[in-house]
Amino acid sequence: MMKFEKCVVCGEADFEVLKSVEWQITGQGTFKLNFSICRTCGQVAQNPFPTMEQVETFYSENINYHLPNFVAELPEEPFSTRLRIRDALRRFKPEKGKVLEIGCGSGENLFYLQKDGWDSYGCEPSPHCSEKAIERLGKEKVSVGFSHDIDIPEVSYDAVFISHVIEHVRDPKGIMRQAMNAAKDDGVIIFEVPCTRQPHRLMPGWLSLEHILYFSAGTISRLAEECGLEIVETILDDEYHLYPAVCIICKKASAKVVHNHFNEYELNKHIVNEFLKADKAHWDGVAKKLEGISEAYIYAAGNHTSQLLFETGFADKANIINIVDSSPIKEGMSLGKHKVISRQRFQEQYKGEKVVVVSYFSEAEIAKSLAELGVKEENIVRLYTG
Rule CB under 5 A: which residues touch Zn ion?
Answer: 7, 9-10, 38, 40-41, 43
State the Cα–Cα distance between residues 113 and 123, nearest whole angstrom. 15
User: Please, which residue, 7 or 356, has the CB nearer to Zn ion?
Assistant: 7
Between 264 and 325, CB nearer to Zn ion: 264
Amino acid at 44: V
Considering the complex, what minimum distance in angstroms separates the CB of residue 226 from Zn ion?
A: 11
- Phi and psi (nearest 5°) for 156? -120, -20
Q: Min. distance of Cβ 216 from Zn ion in angstroms?
A: 11
Residue 127 CA, chain-centre distance (Å), reads 17
Contact (CB, 8 A) for 137 and 74:
no
**Of 43 and 114, which has the nearer Cβ to Zn ion?**
43
Q: Cα–Cα distance between 117 and 141 in angstroms, integer?
A: 15
The distance of closest approach from Cβ of residue 7 to Zn ion in the complex, given in angstroms and rounded to an integer, is: 3
Shortest Å, Cβ 9 to Zn ion: 5
Q: How far apart are CA 325 and CA 306, in angstroms?
A: 13
Of residues 232, 281, 278, the one with CA closest to residue 253: 232
Structure letter (DSSP) for residue 172? H
Cα–Cα distance for residue pair 371/380, rounded to 1 Å: 8
User: Which residues are bridge partners to 45 per DSSP?
Assistant: 36, 213
The CA-to-CA distance between both ends of the chain, in Å, stands at 40
Between 124 and 264, name the residue whose CB sits nearer to Zn ion.
Answer: 264
Shortest Cβ 10–Zn ion spacing (Å) = 3
Amino acid identity at 264: E
Q: Which residues of 233-244 are buried (b: 16+ CB within 10 A; e: fewer)?
A: eeeebeebeebb
Nearest residue (CB) to Zn ion, 39 versus 93: 39
Q: Shortest Cβ distance from residue 43 to Zn ion (Å)? A: 5
- The SS3 assignment for 363 reads helix
Closer residue to Zn ion in complex, CB, 40/198? 40
List, in sequence order, every residue forming a beta bridge with 248; answer none if it has no partner.
191, 234
* Rounded Cα gap, residues 176 and 204, in angstroms: 29
Closer by beta carbon to Zn ion, 13 or else 52? 13
Question: How many whole angstroms separate alpha carbon 14 and alpha carbon 36?
Answer: 10
Using N-to-C axis directions, what is the helix angle for 265-290 and 303-312, rounded to 10°? 80
CB of 246 to Zn ion, least distance (A): 17
Residue among 6 and 184 whose Cβ is closer to Zn ion: 6
Least Å from the CB of residue 150 to Zn ion: 29
If phi > 0 it is left, if psi is from -120 to 50 it is alpha, else beta; for residue 328 that is alpha
We find the least distance from the C-beta atom of residue 45 to Zn ion, in angstroms, to be 9
| Minimal distance, residue 221 CB to Zn ion, in Å | 13
Based on CB atoms, which residue is closest to Zn ion, 164 or 261?
Answer: 261
Give the number of other Cβ atoms within 10 Å of residue 287's Cβ: 15
Pick 44 or 88: Cβ nearer Zn ion: 44
